[in-house]
Amino acid sequence: MATLMIQGTTSDAGKSTVVAGLCRALSRRGFSVAPFKPQNMALNSAVTVDGGEIGRSTALQAQAARVAPHSDMNPVLLKPESDKGAQVILAGRVHGSMAALDYHAYKTTARQTVMDCHRRLSERFDVIIAEGAGSPAEVNLREGDIANMGFAEAVDCPVLLVGDIDRGGVFAQLCGTLALVSASENARIKGFVINRFRGDIGLLEPGLEWLAEREARPVLGVLPYLQGLWLDAEDSLSLEQRLDHAGGDMLKVVVPALPRISNHTDLDPLRLHPRVSLSLVGPDQPMPDADVILLPGSKNTRADLAWLRSQGWDERIRRHLRYGGRVLGICGGFQMLGEWIDDPDGIEGEPGGVEGLGWLAMSTTMRPDKRLTRVSGRIDTADGCCSIHGYEIHQGVSRGEALSRPLMRLEGRDEGAVSQDGQIMGTYLHGLFDGPDACEALLARLGLPPEDTRRVDLDAHRERQLDRLADTIEQHLDMEMVLRLIG
C-alpha cells in the first residue's frame, strides 16, 4: 500500500478533480486504487455500499477508481446545520451535532477514526489517493489537524500541492502556502500542479522555471481549463450553474436556492437535459416563468422553510398552482409540503414544531436515527412502468393521508405522495432523475411529453467525463513522477 495526498492552496483549487482523474488513470493502468478524504465539510452526500454516508465528491472518486464507495473513504463528514454548527458523521454514521469550537476540541478523538479507516483501506488496496480540505496553510486550524498536513504527517505520505491559476496569483498561492507550513510539512510537498490554465503555455514557462528553482521542487504538470467538464459538485451551488439548450418546447423548472440546500446533485440530470430549462433563484431574486417549482433537499428543514416564507415562496407556490403549475418536493422539500414538521429532540436546531406549507395531508417528525439506504423499484409511465433507483438520507418520518397516493414503489413498499389533482408530488428518494427511463417518466408526470431521441443518462455522462479527465491527467501530468511517489 502507498498513499499520495493531494492538497490545495485554497478551497476549490481543483483537489477533488485531480484526485478523480488520478483514480481513473491509475485504475486504467491496473492498480487497485481507493480515494480517501480524512475530513470533509459538505451537504452533498452519498450512501455507501456498507450503508454509511460520505461526501458526494468521494463517492464520485470511487466511481473513477471503479470500486464501490465505502464509509472508510471519508471518515469524517461535517454537514453544516447553521453558521456555527454541523452534524458530525463518523465512519458513515451520525455521531451528533457540534458547535465549531466543540468540534475543534473533538478532533483529537476523531483522529483515531481517521487512522482506523485509512488502515482498513490500506489492507484492501494497492494505492490510496488522499484529498485534503481547504488549505494546509490555515494556521489557526493547524493544532489537532486531521484534514491536511496533520494526516500526511501521521501516515508519512508525500503531498502534491494544487494551485488554481484561473483565480490569478497562482505563484503567490503556492509560495505563500510553503512559507506558512512547518519545515517538515514543507519538505513533504514534493511538487506542484497548476490547474485550470488557458492561454499560451510559452508565456507561463518562465514562471514555472522560476518556481521550480525558488522552491527546489518540480512542477509536475499544468492542467488545462476543461470547457464543459461536468462532475458532481462537492458542495457549492452556483446560481449561474445552468446549461442553455436550444430548440423545441422546454419544461421550465424553477428551484429556490435554499440556504441549507443538500444533495443538489439531484438537479444535475435536469441541467443536462436538452428539453429542460433549469433556473436557480437566490435571495431577493424574482421568480421567472415556471412549469414546475422544485423544492430540493435541506439540512435544516424548518430554518429553510422559514427562509422560503420570508422570500414569499408560499404565495408564489399558491399562485403557481392556481394557474395549473406543478410542484415537486424532494426529501426536505417533500417535508415542507406537508401540514406540520415536528422536531421534539432538536435534531436540526431547538426542539419544537412548525406549520408546513399545507399542500399535502401529512406530518413529519424528526427522529435521531437517520435512514441511509440505496433503493430501487418501479414508477408508473404512460405505457406501464419502469425501474427507478436512488438513495435515501433523512431523519424525518412522515405519516398522513397523502401517503395513500404514492408516487412510486420501492423495495415492495409505497413511497412518496401525489395530490388528488396530480399537481403536487413529493418523495424522499434522492437521485430520482439519474436513470434515463425514470427521468423521462418523472418529467412526463411534470408536464413534458416523453421523447426517445433526447434522453439523459447521467451515469454514462459521468463515465465519459471521468475518462476525459483521466486522458487530460495522462497527457499533462508527469505520471512517471507520480508512480515514483507512490512507490
CA dihedral 239, 237, 24, 48 (to 10 degrees): -140
pLDDT at 84: 82
What is d(CA 457, CA 459) in angstroms, rounded to the nearest whole number? Answer: 6
**Using CA atoms, how far apart are residues 135 and 147, in angstroms rounded to an integer?**
9
Confidence tier at 383 by pLDDT (50, 70, 90): confident
Whole-angstrom Cα distance, residue 428 to residue 178?
Answer: 46
476 part of the active site = no
Nearest 5°: phi and psi at 55? Answer: -65, 145
Q: How confident is the model at residue 386 (pLDDT cuts 50, 70, 90)?
A: very high
By DSSP bridging, strand 413-415 and strand 408-410 are antiparallel
> Alpha-carbon dihedral of residues 429, 434, 440, 444, nearest 10 degrees?
30
Residue-wise pLDDT tens digits, 47-72: 999 999 999 999 999 999 999 999 99
- Dist CA 253 CA 265 (whole Å): 15
Q: How far apart are CA 138 and CA 3, in angstroms?
A: 23
Q: Which three cell numbers stand for residue 2?
A: 502507498
- Which tops the pLDDT comparison, 276 or 449? 276
> Which residue is associated with the grid cell 488496496?
125
Q: Is the pLDDT of residue 330 over 90?
A: yes
Residue 243 confidence (pLDDT) above 80: no
In order of 143, 241, 457, 462, the CA distances from 63 in angstroms are 33, 23, 15, 9
Q: Which of 321, 251, 313 has the alpha carbon at shortest distance from 285?
A: 313
3-state class (DSSP) for residue 181: coil
For the ranges 193-202, 446-455, 468-477, the lowest mean pLDDT is seen at 446-455
Length of the chain: 487
Q: Which of 117, 331, 439, 476 is catalytic?
A: 331
> Among this protein's residues, is 430 annotated catalytic?
yes
CA 24 to CA 65: how far, in whole Å?
5
Share of the chain above pLDDT 90, in %: 86
The residue type at 396: G
Residue with cell 433549469: 278
| pLDDT exceeds 70 at position 93 | yes
Among candidate residues 70, 273, 394, 430, the one labeled active-site is 430
| Residue partners of 410: CB distance under 8 A and separation at least 6 | 375, 376, 377, 388, 429
Contact yes or no for 481/220 (Cβ under 8 A)? yes
CB 429 within 8 A of CB 414: no
Cβ neighbors of 446 (< 8 A, separation 6 or more) are 251, 253, 291, 292, 326, 328, 425
Of residues 75 and 487, which shows the higher confidence score?
Answer: 75
Is the pLDDT confidence value at 453 over 70? no
User: What pTM value is reported for the model?
Assistant: 0.89
Mean pLDDT of the chain, nearest integer = 93
Nearest 5°: the CA angle 117, 477, 213 is 105
